[in-house]
Structure 1
Amino acid sequence: MTTPPSGPYDGPTPPGQPGQYPPGQPNQYPPGQPGGGFHPAGQIQPGYNPYSQGSSGQGSYRYALPGQPAGYTTRVGASLIDGVLQSLPLGIGLIATIAMHTSDAAGAPLTLGIAGSWVIWFLNRVLQQGRTGQSLGKKMTGTRVISLQTGELIGFGPNLGREVLAIVLNYVCFLNVIWPLWDEKQQTWHDKIVNDIVVST
């Protein structure tokens, strides 16, 4: 004489019931095990950042990058646009100084041009990029500076440090300029120090 099942977990489970997973399916984990559940092949949980590592070294779930790392030529193009913009007052001041070379005030236009160049640098590369992640050059080339840790904008302070580091490192060692050519995440040294990444949006 047999005893009938006394609970919902006794006895065989009818095929197709919730919670049943066909044996041998890909990406299947036994229920109750860490990471248990069923994830369709190729599906990545929302927010996964392949460039982020957790404190345990096992990887972690962060904000997903909003785009792919920007290519080297794209980054160079953005820098050239910003450089041309920044050099405009300097060029005007230099031309005016040459034209006034016989005057006692011939050096004034060049001084004003240098000052104007730094003002444009601050407004474009520090203030604007700190607020939006994009200088004029980055906006025209469709790139943006974001945090590698969170996928969000890095903010005014870190962006200021990033731009100052870029000037120093570019003059100290030319390798900083070409480092993205072989870097896995296409970062410069100042990107690595600030922990940011330039992505195509």
Structure 2
Amino acid sequence: MSNNDPYASPQGDQPHYGQQPQYGQQPQYGQQPQYGQQPQYGQPQYGAPQGYGQPLQAPYGQQPYYGGPQQFGATLPPLAHWGQRVGAYLIDGLVLLPGYLLIIPGYVQLVSSTTTSRRCFDYSDPNTCYTVNHSGSISPAFVLLMLLGFVVMFGLLIWNRWIKGGKGQSIGKKALGITLVSEQTLAPIGGGKAFLRDLAHMLDSFLCDLGYLWPLWDSKRQTFSDKIVGTLVVQGPPPGGEKR
């Protein structure tokens, strides 16, 4: 009867059940040390999907792919105030002062040597009289000074407004902490566009300098020339620092 009792034979099965090495080692099923250590489970198996996770985190974390094409909306610095722009314009005018100082002496001599005379068809009738201006003479030395002054003034204009200005900051803009950039890329516009922008300032002079006043109420604080060329004046240094 003891042989037929299923509960009476634990000793027969005990060697196979109680040894536990063959069942507990789990050599090919999982080798519980490798599964339980969690570094090997997380690194090769769970970490392998990092190839899936990394492509998501890299573009999302870096944000250049999202922000690059949308730099205007994402990284736009504060726009320059109207007072800052006026101050920068006045300082840029002072940069041309050496040229004016060379021109003024010759101009003064030319004006002072100019004379006028009164002529009449009938001296008894004042209504027949008229005034004649006689141009004065100017010495060759003053002529050379005036020519040198124009060369210096034009050279300073090219250097300050179109070379330095094309890189983002003229002398005046640097002094006021503002920068000229492209509306699309927020990068300096280069000397060619800086020259075209100065030409477009002629439109700003129409209707009592209305274009120069336009930034006071414009949402982007642009003059007419800014809108034509596609530029903004923002606060702060040029992108990547000052370019010499």
Tell me the equivalent position of 1:55.
none
Out of 88, 92, 95, the residue aligned to residue 105 of structure 2 is 95
Q: Counterparts in 2 of 1:158-169, with a 5 A limit? A: 158-166=193-201, 168-169=202-203
Alpha-carbon offset, residue 179 of structure 1:
1.0
Q: Distance in 2 between matches of 1:89 and 1:153?
A: 27
TM value normalised by structure 2: 0.53
1:157 matches 2:167: no
**For residues 169 and 198 of structure 1, do their structure 2 counterparts lie closer, same or farther at Cα, with a shift above 3 Å needed?**
same
Tell me the equivalent position of 1:61.
70
User: Percent of pairs identical after alignment?
Assistant: 32
Which structure: greater helix fraction? 2
Tell me the equivalent position of 1:82.
92
Tell me the equivalent position of 2:172.
137
Residue aligned with 1:69, SS: coil
Q: Distance in 2 between matches of 1:84 and 1:65?
A: 33
Q: Unaligned 5+ residue runs, structure 1?
A: 1-44, 50-59
Alpha-carbon offset, residue 108 of structure 1:
3.0
Q: Distance in 2 between matches of 1:123 and 1:71?
A: 25
Structural RMSD (CA): 2.5
Alpha-carbon offset, residue 188 of structure 1:
0.4
| Contact persistence 1:97–1:108 (CA under 8 A) | no
Alpha-carbon offset, residue 118 of structure 1:
1.6
| Contact persistence 2:109–2:138 (CA under 8 A) | no
Q: Which amino acid aligns with 2:210?
A: L
| Contact persistence 1:97–1:109 (CA under 8 A) | no
Q: Distance in 2 between matches of 1:142 and 1:122?
A: 21
Tell me the equivalent position of 1:113.
149
Residue aligned with 1:199, SS: strand
Q: Distance in 2 between matches of 1:82 and 1:74?
A: 12
Tell me the equivalent position of 1:21.
none
Q: Which amino acid aligns with 1:61?
A: Q
Q: Unaligned 5+ residue runs, structure 2?
A: 1-62, 114-136, 237-244
Alpha-carbon offset, residue 65 of structure 1:
4.1
Q: Distance in 1 between matches of 2:193 and 2:169?
A: 14
Q: Which amino acid aligns with 2:151?
A: A
Alpha-carbon offset, residue 148 of structure 1:
1.0
Tell me the equivalent position of 2:163.
127
Out of 233, 237, 241, the residue aligned to residue 198 of structure 1 is 233
Tell me the equivalent position of 2:3.
none
**For residues 170 and 91 of structure 1, do their structure 2 counterparts lie closer, same or farther at Cα, with a shift above 3 Å needed?**
farther
Q: Distance in 2 between matches of 1:180 and 1:65?
A: 21
Q: Which has the larger radius of gyration?
A: 2
Q: Distance in 1 between matches of 2:181 and 2:233?
A: 6
